[in-house]
Structure 1
Amino acid sequence: MMPALFIGHGSPMMAIEDNECGVFLSNYGKVIGKPKAIVLFTAHWETEVLTISAVEGRYTTIHDFGGFPQPLFDMRYPAPGSVGLAEQVGKRLSEQGIPVQYDNRRGLDHGTWVVLSRLYPDADIPLVQISVQPFQTNEYQYRVGEALRGLGAEDILVIGSGATVHNFQQMRWGGGEPEQWAIDFDDWLVDRMNERDLDSLFRYEELAPNARKAVPRPEHFVPLYIAFGNGDPQNKPEVIHRSYEMGTLSYICMKF
């Protein structure tokens, strides 16, 4: 039985540097064990229609960033695709009224391969990468995850890869202790999730402290709702890791 996970992926440097979250993920992959397959929603792939990677063979690696050291650009994560799993996922979503389309060419962006290079560095687990639709409602995001409930019982790991507090304008590039406003925002989210207060969570923009500052644009935030919706509602949400970089960049990770 695999849980649903939300992973705060932060900077791509996590792939080659041992920050707190990177070290945690390297150990956590051993804790939960190796799944039969992985379905991952990445904040770095936005589409009008929910799009599912249906790739034959191995994925290419996309280095969708700039200004980082060469060793990061040398990284490759040649995980195998799975057309069969992609079609299975698409069928479940379509049956719940969620339109989907397929993509058989796109490689893995860093929202996917940075996280997985830490969790499962051997790149030998069949993988389906899925886009996000940040313009959709929060209720819709939860429903996407809910439509895929049961994959964990099939030993398929569902991951939402993004970030809760993700605002480049508010980062302190020199580092330092996390800002209290960022901590308060994450605290509010965790409390509401523990209470399964869906109404408040769906209205976080008006109810959560510092919401506009924490989430200026929701593409990194919506994978949290997808992972939450995918989790077993009988399980209590659990913060499995929490750290910050540059004052505000949240690496909070949750299990559902």
Structure 2
Amino acid sequence: MASNSVLDVLKAMKKASAREIAARMEIDLTDAIAMLNEQKELGAAELRDGGWSLPGYREPKTLSITAKPLPAAPVLHPEKVVPEEKTDKTVKTAALISTIAVHGEQSVEFLAQKHGVAVTGVASELERAVAQGVLQRNIREGRFRYGLPAERLLESSQEPVTGAEVPACESGGIITQPVEGSPSFNEGRPDDLIIPSPVEVARMIRKAKQHLRELEHIRALSMAVRKYRKTLYRLTDLKREG
């Protein structure tokens, strides 16, 4: 039952205490309370008369029969029903993992706004992903953040990347070009000692800085490939399975 989300449990139990929900999901009471409070902040659950339920749920009232006669013309007031927030657009777990892989740990609100879907739908998908071990939930500054498991990030950062996996570096053209093109004070006249002018030195500095920026960009690309390669493989597998 732990694989079900807290919203699924509330739909099944209608109304229950935090202890009953924790027993139903087979988790600790503190975790159940934290999950319920988060759903309450998102407007997906509410606490009323000591019990948790979905918004708009009311316990059925017991009708009592008395000897008092009914009025001749009773005035009926229709009960106001609060419509549940609905959206036709949904988001898949693979899309959430892709966003988290690029932007790092994120909150439910950020992911919902990023994909343009309801917060409740994103929260349900994230809870299922956490139960499956695809994502992990952390508490940052008193709020839940969802990110990739630490062991997966560690493995992807430690594994080497072969030349076939980085097409931009196969021929070495991008790396060797800045190195070979570095400025030289005696370029063209190797046997002479040339003292360059300040203008020439400034030009050489600008050229060297440009080469340095290119190398920094190459290094950032290499680090990104190392960090997210396993995540990209996992997204490909999920796409094939879906």
| Greater share of strand | 1
- When normalised by structure 1's length, the TM-score is 0.24
Determine which structure has greater relative contact order: mean sequence separation of CA pairs < 8 Å that are 6+ residues apart, divided by chain length. 1
- When normalised by structure 2's length, the TM-score is 0.25
